[in-house]
């Protein structure tokens, strides 16, 4: 059984780490960015601002600018890289509206008894770094009645490394090397050019797992 990758992520770090790692203005105010984030909640993301970048809270599930409502009927918290140029929801933002999503862990449900979900959840983190930074895209939706602007993002996912695949997932967030943060945020190329940039910018990570929620009682009976 497959479950959607990166529907929950955590960020727990310091202002100093965020400012330094993401090259933010040392004097800029920061929102309250620590927490556990799920789709349709306000979550931290970094976007370009002038020649620099800024951390802000945005809706974790992309709402296209052309949507008639502030919530679409299909899941938009992740955008598949292999079809990103085919989907109207993703195509425009992928060309010109890039973001970065910092996280210390992402949380997934794991199946260990055939096709039956046993109820265990794991937190996946990186062994050699306190912060992982995922590539994302964002869009801006304006409420036609109030003029209020809703900024929202989706995390890019692609084929997983072996470690993630062996856990039972066929997707993984696309993580970015620090030296490419600024280029990813500020580039405005065409779709193929941005795919080529991501191929260069991707950061391989050494993942580790922590059990976040154990197996449900009685799972042995359901496995028979």
Options 2.40.30.10, 3.90.1680.10, 3.40.50.10860, 3.90.1150.10; CATH for 8-223 is: 3.90.1680.10
Give every strand in the sheet of 105-110, ordered side by side: 35-37, 8-11, 105-110, 120-126, 207-213
Q: Average pLDDT of 161-189?
A: 89
Q: Please give the torsion angle defined by the CA atoms of residues 33, 10, 40 and 169, in that order, rounded to the nearest 10 degrees.
A: 150
Compute CA distances 63 → 71, 74, 95, 120, 154, whole Å: 6, 10, 16, 30, 9
Q: Give the model's confidence band at 210: pLDDT under 50 very low, under 70 low, under 90 confident, else very high.
A: confident
- How would residue 222 be classed by pLDDT, with cut points 50, 70 and 90? very low
Would you kindly state where each structural domain of the chain is located, as residue ranges? 8-223
pLDDT in tens, 101-156: 999 999 887 655 555 555 677 889 999 888 999 999 999 999 999 999 999 999 99
Strands 78-80 and 149-158: parallel
Are the CB atoms for 127 and 207 separated by under 8 Å? yes
pLDDT beyond 80 at 18? yes
| Half-sphere exposure (Cβ direction) of 139: Cα atoms closer than 13 Å | 23
Four-CA torsion 70, 71, 77, 78, nearest 10 degrees: -100
């Amino acid at each position: 059984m497959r479950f959607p990758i990166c529907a929950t992520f955590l960020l727990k770090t310091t202002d100093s780490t965020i400012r330094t790692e993401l090259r933010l203005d040392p004097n800029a105010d920061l929102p309250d960015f620590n927490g556990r984030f799920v789709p349709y909640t306000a979550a931290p993301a970094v976007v370009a601002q002038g020649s620099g970048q800024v951390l802000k809270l945005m809706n974790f599930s992309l709402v296209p600018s052309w949507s008639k409502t502030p919530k679409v009927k299909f899941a938009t918290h992740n955008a598949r890289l292999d079809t990103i140029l085919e989907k109207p929801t993703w195509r425009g933002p992928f060309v010109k509206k890039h973001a970065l999503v910092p996280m210390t862990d992402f949380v997934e449900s794991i199946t260990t008894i055939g096709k039956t979900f046993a109820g265990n959840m794991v937190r996946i983190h990186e062994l050699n770094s306190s912060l992982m930074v995922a590539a994302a895209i964002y869009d801006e939706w304006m409420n036609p009645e109030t003029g209020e602007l809703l900024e929202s993002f989706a995390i890019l996912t692609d084929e997983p490394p072996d470690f993630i695949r062996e856990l039972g997932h066929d997707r993984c967030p696309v993580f970015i090397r620090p030296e490419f943060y600024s280029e990813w945020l500020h580039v405005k190329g065409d779709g193929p050019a941005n795919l080529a940039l991501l191929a260069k910018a991707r950061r391989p990570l050494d993942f580790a797992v922590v059990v976040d929620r154990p197996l449900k009682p009685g799972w042995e009976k359901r496995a028979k």
